[in-house]
């Protein structure tokens, strides 16, 4: 079977390069400092989802402690006999969950589910040290009768007390 050959170039030429440098990929556009702030309802939903997560984690620890230590004792008796260790456990879980998720992903699980992220006021993501400071301060905001969280309802930027102290704001992702 003979295939006719022509002197015309192919319709779609292929370029082959043996250069050792990898091809450059255009960088994504940097996020601007002027992102849309998260609404009060969106913030509230994020907080409630985070609270539910912390309550579930604390409840799982309580259930496990009840099964291991005192299987015959009702869970409410165990909780009411020593509420301080369980509150301390909930605070530790809240700090760990908030710190790790904000340091690694820039948002808490509740913020991720409601389409929010944290951004520093100058712009950009929080550093791990800023995320730890924010997580520790959020427990103090909650311990003060939720005053630090209620402050967001009256603030022009919608910032909580711990957000103000850490110079960050929740924005829509």
Mean pLDDT computed over 55-81:
81
Mean pLDDT of 95-110: 96
pLDDT score of 9: 57
Predicted local confidence at residue 29, as pLDDT: 47
Average predicted confidence (pLDDT) for the chain: 83
Q: Indicate the pLDDT class of residue 31, thresholds 50, 70 and 90.
A: very low
Residue/partner pairs of 150-153 with CB below 8 Å, 24 or more apart: 152/40, 152/43, 153/40
The pLDDT value recorded for residue 5 is 59
DSSP-derived 3-state class of residue 88: helix
Query: What confidence category does residue 6 fall into, taking pLDDT thresholds of 50, 70 and 90?
Result: low
Assign 171 to helix, strand or coil.
strand
Q: What is the pLDDT of residue 66?
A: 80
Q: Is the pLDDT of residue 171 over 80?
A: yes
pTM of the model: 0.73
Which DSSP string corresponds to 112-152? HHTTEEEEETTSSPPPHHHHHHHHHHHHHHHHTTTHHHHHH
Q: Range with the lowest mean pLDDT among 4-8, 21-25, 122-126?
A: 21-25
Per-residue pLDDT reduced to its tens digit, 155-170: 888 899 999 999 999 9
């Amino acid at each position: 079977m003979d295939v006719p050959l022509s002197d015309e170039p192919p319709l779609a030429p292929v370029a082959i390069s043996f250069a050792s440098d990898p091809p450059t990929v255009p960088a994504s556009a940097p996020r601007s400092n002027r992102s849309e702030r998260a609404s009060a309802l969106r913030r509230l939903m994020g907080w409630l989802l985070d609270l539910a997560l912390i309550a579930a984690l604390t409840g799982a620890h309580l259930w496990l402690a009840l099964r291991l230590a005192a299987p015959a004792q009702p869970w409410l008796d165990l909780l009411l006999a020593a509420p301080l260790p369980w509150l301390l456990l909930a605070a530790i879980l809240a700090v760990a969950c908030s710190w790790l998720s904000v340091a690694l992903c820039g948002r808490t699980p509740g913020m991720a589910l409601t389409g929010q992220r944290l951004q520093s006021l100058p712009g950009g993501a929080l550093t791990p040290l800023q995320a730890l400071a924010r997580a520790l301060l959020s427990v103090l905001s909650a311990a003060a009768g939720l005053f630090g969280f209620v402050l967001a309802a009256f603030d022009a930027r919608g910032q909580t007390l711990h957000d103000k102290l850490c110079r960050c704001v929740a924005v829509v992702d």
